[in-house]
Amino acid sequence: MIAASLKKRLKYFDVDLSFSCASKSMMVMIGPSGGGKTTIIRILAGLTTPDEGQVIFGDEVWFDSFRRINLPPQKRQLGYVFQDYSLFPHLNLLDNAAFSATNKKEVDELFELFKINHLKKRKPHMVSGGERQRCAICQALARHPRLLLLDEPFSALDVVTRRGLREELKSLKGRLSCPIIYVTHDINEALFLADEILPVVDGKIDSGWMQRTITREPGEGTQAKGAREPRLSLAY
């Protein structure tokens, strides 16, 4: 279980929220782009330092501003799948996934599971975006993460690939014992995947955001400050 209570001053707004996510559960953090979701994920990963707050994983303190504890990302043992471009361009897919694998044999099993076994020897630029993201997920899982962070992992992909991967991820979810935090701005994705939904708007929890976004009439001027997205399409 991971619990966080964070404050961080950003350029246009302040992040100020608390949440927790249990093991074996997927929390989807949703909200308009530019609303602070990635900052929160980066804080959990140890890549960004909050101004104030705590991040506690089980009985381990990862960050505590008061006690001046800040565990570096290397020691948090987590999996982080970025939007794109996080695979190492000089390594083939197999070496990428095995980059810090605890057991190299498992990488083969993961490749089998994600159906990219035939692409092992290809470099990242020689495969499609969907295949790259599959490999990125394998890379994150091969490390036996204690927490899995997925920051809009499928948003650079086309709708069909995206749907397929979304389903694969849902079926994978049952096999993982760690908490999973998934970031998206897509309501469909959130409803499909989530055990728990955390709507974040301008750095704060805004539980009415989803309702407002779904029911909002076109032309209604109630868009949140951070919402630089057009109205979400519910067509697919």
Partner 1 sequence: MDYLALFVTLKLAMVTTVVLMVLAAPVAYFLAYSKFPGKSFLEALIYLPMALPPTVIGFYLIIMMGPKGWIGRMWEMLTGGSLLFTFLGITIASIIYSIPFAVQPMKAAFSKIDRRLLENAYILGLSKRAAFIRVIIPNSLGGIAAAAVLVFLHSIGAFGVLLMVGGSIPGETKVASIAIYEAVEMMNYSAAAMIALSFIPISYAFLLLINKLNEESRT
Q: In the complex with partner 1, which residue's Cβ is closer, 139 or 184?
A: 139
Q: Which is nearer to partner 1, 151 or 202 (CB)?
A: 151
Write a three-state SS string for the chain. Answer: CEEEEEEEECCCCEEEEEEEECCCCEEEEECCCCCCHHHHHHHHHCCCCCCEEEEEECCEEEEECCCCEECCHHHHCCEEECCCCCCCCCCCHHHHHCCCCCCHHHHHHHHHHCCCHHHCCCCHHHCCHHHHHHHHHHHHHCCCCCCEEEECCCCCCCHHHHHHHHHHHHHHHCCCCCCEEEEECCHHHHHHHCCEEEEEECCEECCCHHHHHHHCCCCCCCCCCCCCCCCCCCCC
The residues, any chain, with a CB within 8 Å of residue 171's CB and separated by 6 or more, are none
Strand partners, 56: 3, 61
- The smaller minimum CB distance to partner 1, of residues 76 and 213, is found at 76
Q: How far is the CB of 123 from partner 1 (least distance, A)?
A: 12
CB of 82 to partner 1, least distance (A): 6
Q: Which is nearer to partner 1, 42 or 162 (CB)?
A: 42
Footprint of partner 1 on this chain (CB under 8 A)?
45-47, 72-74, 76-80, 82, 85-86, 88-90, 99-100, 139, 143
Question: Could you tell me the smallest distance in angstroms from the CB atom of residue 86 to partner 1?
Answer: 4
Cβ distance to partner 1 smaller for residue 90 or 105: 90
Question: Smaller CB distance to partner 1: residue 156 or 224?
Answer: 156
Q: Which is nearer to partner 1, 89 or 230 (CB)?
A: 89
Question: In whole angstroms, how close is the CB of 98 to partner 1 at the nearest point?
Answer: 11
- Least spacing, CB of residue 124 vs partner 1, in Å: 11
For the CB of residue 177, give the shortest distance to partner 1 in the complex, in Å.
19
Distances (CA, A) of 224 to 94, 173, 206, 208, 228: 43, 32, 10, 11, 9
CA distance 84 to 106: 23
Minimum CB–partner distance for residue 148 and partner 1 (Å): 11
